[in-house]
Amino acid sequence: MTRDEVLHVLKVIPENTGRLIMVGVLASQKTIQGIPNGRPNRYPAALKISDIFPNDPRVINLIHYNTKEHDTLGYQLLAITELGGDNLHGLQLNIAWPSPDVLKAYKKVQQTKQIVLQVGGRAFKMIDDSPKRLAAKVAEYEGIIDYALLDPSGGEGKPLDPQRIREYLYTLQAKNLNIGLGTAGGLSPTTLGLIEPLVKEFPNLSIDAEGLIRTPEDHLDLNLASEYPRKTLLMFNKK
């Protein structure tokens, strides 16, 4: 929500970790129009977004965007990119299977911006939770997106099922796509054991946390938000 929160977390991040810390800022079609979100402690005012992102080699700055209006998605993506400012590295699209053609057109205009495609609960339902269909669907985005994030939880803190995620990851890996893989779901400093077996099998895996590093009032818990990447880096380094 603020640059100060980001700087607080970065205090525990050493130089040259070999990994990037994602600074994720939520935005929606409503918030970029100045309409408050139902979760005001997660969605900053649109005009404040650019102030949050630091110019720091340890981070990847992403706007996490969701919308129900797909017909004008291309225009929306260009608009939120402008709101991200000079330090924005790209977008995470929390959208169920957006048009690959729209994303391809966006990348032609914004060639340096990275795209993370979140595969959330609704997206999984649309492919009947099938690993084979998931791999085929993600393959449609090869050359367009940079990462696919398997996130059945969608920021709600629901724990991931390591066995199920493993099946999805192996099926995607077998496609040999030039797309980075990530997963999320109920991760926090105390639940990294859920993901540790997967890290040994998929050392380049990216992971994400949201719901369980927040206070009961739904503010970012700075202690948890700092402890999470610190422990994560230790886990990846001992794989």
Task: Please report the DSSP string for 180-234 in residue order.
Answer: EEEEESS--TT-GGGTHHHHHH-TT-EEE--GGGB-TTS-B-HHHHHHHHHHHHH
Q: Return the pLDDT at 239.
A: 57
Structure tokens at 58: 């340890």
pLDDT tens, residue by residue, 91-142: 999 999 999 999 999 999 999 999 999 999 999 999 999 999 999 999 999 9
Regarding predicted confidence, which is higher, 62 or 156?
62
Q: Where are the alpha helices (DSSP H) in the chain?
A: 3-10, 49-52, 73-84, 100-109, 121-126, 131-139, 162-174, 196-201, 222-237
The confidence score (pLDDT) of residue 157 equals: 60
The conformation of residue 47, written as its DSSP 8-state character, comes to: G
Query: Counting beta carbons within 10 angstroms of the beta carbon of residue 213, is it exposed (0 to 12), middle (13 to 18) or buried (19 or more)?
Result: buried
**How high is the pLDDT of residue 152?**
80
149 and 208 in contact (C-beta within 8 Å)?
Answer: yes
Token output for 224: 């948890």
Domain residue extents for the chain: 3-237
Question: Tokens 């940079």 correspond to what residue?
Answer: 146
pLDDT tens digit sequence for 138-173: 999 999 999 999 998 655 567 788 999 999 999 999
Buried b (16+ CB within 10 A) or exposed e, 179-204: bebbbbbbbbbebbebbeebbeebee
Alpha carbon distance 12, 38 (integer Å): 31
Give the residue carrying structure tokens 């918030």.
31
Element (H, E) at 118: strand 114-119
In angstroms, the Cα distances linking 126 to 97, 108, 230 are 9, 28, 35
Encoded tokens for 202: 């998929």
What residues contact residue 157 under an 8 Å CB cut-off, 6+ apart?
186, 210, 211, 212
- Of 213, 206, 191, give the one whose Cα is nearest residue 236: 206
pLDDT of 13 > 90? The answer is: yes
pLDDT tens digits for 198-226?
998 999 999 999 999 999 999 999 999 99
Question: What's domain 3-237's superfamily in CATH?
Answer: Aldolase class I (3.20.20.70)
pTM to 2 decimal places: 0.94
